[in-house]
Structure 1
Amino acid sequence: MAGSRVAVVTGANQGIGFATVKELCRTFDGSVYLTSRNENLGRAAVEELEKLGLRPKYHQLDIDDESSVLRLRDYLKATYGGLDILVNNAAMLILAKDEDSRELFAENTRSVVQTNFFNTFRVCNILFPLLRPHARVVNLSSSMGHISQIEGQSEAASTLRAKFSSPDLSYKELLKLMNDFLDAVKRGDHADYGWPRKNWVSYIASKIAVSAMTRIQQRDFDVDPREDIIINHVHPGYVNTKMASFKGVLTIEQGAAAPSWLAMLPPNDATNPKGAYVWHDKTIVDWVKGPLPAEY
Structure 2
Amino acid sequence: MTPSTQPNQPAPAGLRVAIVTGGSRGIGRAVSQQLARDGLAVVVNYARDAASAEDTVAAITGAGGRAVAVQADVADEKEVAALFDRAEAEYGGVDVVVNAAGRMTLSTVADLDLAALDAMHRTNIRGTFVVAQQAARRLRAGGSLVTFSTSVVGTQFPEYGAYVASKAAVEGMTLILARELRGRDVTVNTVAPGPTATDLFLDGKTPEQIDRLSKIPPLERLGRPEDIAEVVAFLSGPAGHWVNGQVLRANGGLV
Larger radius of gyration, structure 1 or 2? 1
SS of aligned partner of 1:132: coil
Alignment equivalent of 1:235, drawn from 186, 192, 202: 192
Compute the RMSD of aligned alpha carbons: 2.6
> Any conservation in 2 of the 1:13–1:35 contact (CA below 8 Å)?
yes
Q: Which amino acid aligns with 1:58?
A: A
Matches within 5 A, 1:32-47: 32-38=42-48, 39-47=50-58
Contact 1:139–1:234, Cα closer than 8 Å, also in 2: yes
In the TM superposition, what is the alpha-carbon distance from 1:144 to its structure 2 partner? 2.1
Q: In structure 2, the residue corresponding to 1:40 is in which secondary structure?
A: helix
Indicate the residue corresponding to 2:23 in structure 1.
12
- Aligned counterparts, 1:1-296, within 5 A: 1=11, 4-28=15-39, 30-38=40-48, 39-96=50-107, 100=111, 105-146=113-154, 149=156, 198-222=158-182, 224=183, 226=184, 228-245=185-202, 247=210, 249-266=222-239, 272-280=242-250, 294-295=253-254
Partner amino acid for 2:253?
Answer: A
Whether the aligned pair in 2 keeps the contact of 1:117 and 1:206 (CA below 8 Å) is yes
The 3 A distance-change label for structure 1 pair 119 and 69 is same
How far apart are 1:11 and its partner, in Å? 0.0
Structure 1's unaligned 5+ residue stretches are 150-195, 282-292
Count of residues in Structure 1 that have an aligned counterpart in Structure 2 = 227
Residue 51 (structure 1) shift: 4.3
Q: CA deviation at 1:215?
A: 1.3
Residue 52 (structure 1) shift: 4.3
Asked if the contact 2:76–2:130 (Cα under 8 Å) also holds between the matched residues in 1, the reply is no
Structure 1's 98 and 219: CA in aligned 2 closer, same or farther, altered over 3 A? closer
* 3-state SS of 2:200 partner: coil
Paired AA for residue 278 in structure 1: L
The amino acid that maps onto 2:147 is N
What percent identity do the matched residue pairs reach? 30
- What's the CA shift for 1:244? 0.7
User: Can you give the 5+ residue segments of structure 2 that lack an aligned partner in the other structure?
Assistant: 1-10, 204-209, 215-221
Q: Structure 1 length as normaliser, TM-score?
A: 0.69
Asked if the contact 2:108/2:160 (under 8 Å) is kept, the reply is no
Amino acid at match of 1:238: P
Deviations 1:234-287 (A, max 9, x none): 1233110011116461221112221121111348x6xx2110111227xxxxxx
Contact 2:136–2:181 (CA<8 Å) still a contact in 1?
A: no
TM-superposed deviation, 1:206:
0.7
Task: Give 1:217 shift.
Answer: 0.5
Aligned AA for 1:33? V
Deviation at 1:46, TM superposition (A): 1.7
